[in-house]
Amino acid sequence: MLQQTQVKTVIPYFNNFLKKIPNLQTLSKSNEKKVLKLWEGLGYYRRAKNLHKTSKILIKKYNGQIPNSFVKLKELPGIGDYTANILLALIYNQPRIALDGNVRRVLSRLFNTDTALAVNFFKTKRNGDLAEALMEFGALICKPQDPKCYKCEIRKMCSYYSSKSKFKSKRKIKIQFKNYDIFCYLKKNKKQIALTKNNDLGFLKKFNLPKIKASSKKVKNWKFLCNYKNSISNKKLNLNLYYKFSSKVPPKYNWYSLNNNKEFIPTFTKKIFKQISNLY
């Protein structure tokens, strides 16, 4: 849940999730709709789907245990290098460091270079604590801007601290937005919108959405409502929202109430609901 999401946002979701699905066995037997409903509002729904699929594999293939091998962990849905490393460090105390942005920065500063090849530098029996501590240290002390070197316990061994010419990472984050047009069929006198799972989009594939297309300059027969920006997974989207009132919709569309709160609706679509609600 914490991937791309802040702790304070996650806490109520996490508590509620554990209340309804308290263990791996229950998760593996739950249906996907239930899991997605509990995830609703957190976004990045692939995480929930992968967690669910992984629970089934762990029960079936590993007797409910998390494998202690990097290779086997990486075969599980949604588990990449970072997650595999942190699981092995935290659960099996293996000497592994999970390289997130914070940890990369700490290592870069300690060794005053833009490389994170220094993972073997630390020797400890408490590998799980080390992996976790490096993340916290990067988030709270060795912060991206204005690191708190004056209270840093390891400044004597820090190259960044002792160096006259402080290293600056050459990495620049470029934010590139992709342009999409969203087309919403609406019922005039009811707060209803037609959605389809028939979208052939790489992201949010098979979720309930209006028609969405990569932006083109010519949009005929649709009324423009607004432009807004949205992020989904690692994509930044620049969205133009169009609508038309209609009682008929193309095949494979179904009507949904804009006040729908029973069925699972992804956050991306809920944001569309919010914009559309301004029309009524």
Q: By CB under 6 A, is residue 142 in contact with ligand SF4?
A: yes
Residue 116 contacts ligand SF4 per CB under 6 A: no
Kindly give the pairing relationship between strand 223-232 and strand 235-245.
antiparallel
Among 116, 118, 133, 152, binds ligand SF4 (CB under 6 A): 152
Could you say whether residue 147 binds ligand SF4 (CB under 6 A)? yes
User: Is residue 269 packed enough to be buried (19+ CB in 10 Å), middle (13-18) or exposed (0-12)?
Assistant: buried
Interaction residues for ligand SF4, span 74-113 (CB under 6 A) = 106, 109-110
Least distance in angstroms from the C-beta of 151 to ligand SF4: 8
**Choices 26-34, 156-164, 191-199, 246-254 (CB under 6 A): range interacting with ligand SF4:** 156-164
Q: Return d(Cα 125, Cα 69) in angstroms, integer.
A: 19
Among 34, 155, 191, 213, which residue interacts with ligand SF4 (rule: CB under 6 A)? 155
How far is residue 132 from each of residues 2, 57, 213, measured CA to CA in Å? 14, 27, 42
Element (H, E) at 225: strand 223-232
What is the DSSP annotation of 49-94?
HHHHHHHHHHHHHHTT---S-HHHHHTSTT--HHHHHHHHHHHH--
Which stretch, 15-23, 57-65, 149-157, 254-262, contacts ligand SF4 (CB under 6 A)?
A: 149-157
Least distance from C-beta 169 to ligand SF4, angstroms?
A: 12
Among 154, 205, 229, 246, contact with ligand SF4 (rule: CB under 6 A): 154
Q: How far apart (Å, rounded) are the C-alpha atoms in residues 202 and 53?
A: 20
Using CB under 6 A as the criterion, which residues of the chain lie in contact with ligand SF4 when the complex forms?
Answer: 106, 109-110, 141-142, 147-149, 152, 154-155, 158, 160-161
